[in-house]
Amino acid sequence: MASMHYPSSCFSFRTTSFPTFSLPITSSSRLSLPLPLPLPTTHSLNPTSFRNWVPGFRLKSLNWVFSGALALTLSVTGVGLAEAKVGVNKPELLPREFTPVIDVAGFLSDGQEKRLAQEISDIEKDTGFKLRVLAQNYPDTPGLAIKDFWQVDDRTIVFVADPTFGNILNFNVGATVDLDIPRSFWSRLAGKYGNMFYWKEKGEDSSIEAAVMAISNCLREPVGPNNCSEVK
């Protein structure tokens, strides 16, 4: 779900563009990535079933972070892409205590991190979905270490903000989330707040904050044929 323009650097799920784990991701706006963690091609990620990464405009960012070779099938464009990347796993970049927002790139101020963490906490209480935000500049990223740190599962949305390849918004969506949120939402979100013109003018922090609020609004909408039809 999301268009693609990104450095694969995270887990192996549907990808937006990232370094991958080594999981297989299949088509339909998702990728089929063979990664160290088995990534189901349909809706889950083995034990934690992390659906495929959503491409914002690229399909490369989270995938790089997580492992080596990725085979991305972008259903949005119908283009198949396979490439090898060096996997990243740097647990030393993780914070000592749990936090839903990890900014190894320094895009956010302390105040912004706290506000986002509070919004994410409210989202989880109100909807049961877990949003996790990682701001990075590949290859400076915790990479695979994020999965266990955040205990990624079917109800988790991993949002990786990395401007390395143009579009800064990249998402990996859990299977349960994918059932409720239309895939088109992620590509529209990336197109609105992740494009290079937006974040270069407004700042990476503005793109991240706007995306989190848009996701919050979407998750709070009643599930139906028209939910999340607008990026607010």
| 112/22: higher pLDDT | 112
- Given a cut of 50, whether residue 26 has pLDDT beyond it is no
- Given a cut of 60, whether residue 12 has pLDDT beyond it is no
Query: Does 116 reside within a domain?
Result: yes
The reported pTM is 0.70
pLDDT for res 168: 95
- Given a cut of 60, whether residue 62 has pLDDT beyond it is no
Task: Tell me, letter by letter, the H, E, C secondary structure of 179-220.
Answer: HHCCHHHHHHHHHHHCCHHHHHHHCHHHHHHHHHHHHHHHHH
pLDDT for res 86: 59
How many CA atoms, within 13 angstroms, populate the side-chain half-sphere of residue 215?
34
Task: Please state the rounded mean pLDDT for residues 196-209.
Answer: 97
Query: Does 95 reside within a domain?
Result: no
Please give the tally of structural domains in the chain.
1
- Given a cut of 60, whether residue 176 has pLDDT beyond it is yes
Q: Between β-strands 69-74 and 79-84, what pairing exists: parallel, antiparallel or unpaired?
A: antiparallel
Query: Does 230 reside within a domain?
Result: no
Query: Does 227 reside within a domain?
Result: no
Average pLDDT of the chain is 73
pLDDT band at 189 (very low <50, low <70, confident <90, very high): very high
pLDDT for res 88: 86
C-alpha radius of gyration, the chain, whole number: 15
Tell me the residue range of the domain where 206 lies: 1-90+100-221
pLDDT for res 18: 38
The region of weakest confidence among 20-24, 81-85, 96-100 is 20-24
pLDDT for res 25: 27
pLDDT for res 165: 83
Percent of the chain with pLDDT over 70: 63
pLDDT band at 48 (very low <50, low <70, confident <90, very high): very low
Torsion of the alpha carbons at 186, 188, 190 and 192, rounded to the nearest 10:
-150
Query: Does 125 reside within a domain?
Result: yes
Query: Does 26 reside within a domain?
Result: yes
| 85/48: higher pLDDT | 85
| 223/27: higher pLDDT | 223
Task: Please state the rounded mean pLDDT for residues 122-145.
Answer: 96
| 124/76: higher pLDDT | 124
Query: Does 35 reside within a domain?
Result: yes
How many CA atoms, within 13 angstroms, populate the side-chain half-sphere of residue 67?
20
Looking at residue 177, which CATH number applies to its domain? 3.10.310.50
Query: Does 194 reside within a domain?
Result: yes
Helix (H) or strand (E) holding 179: helix 175-180
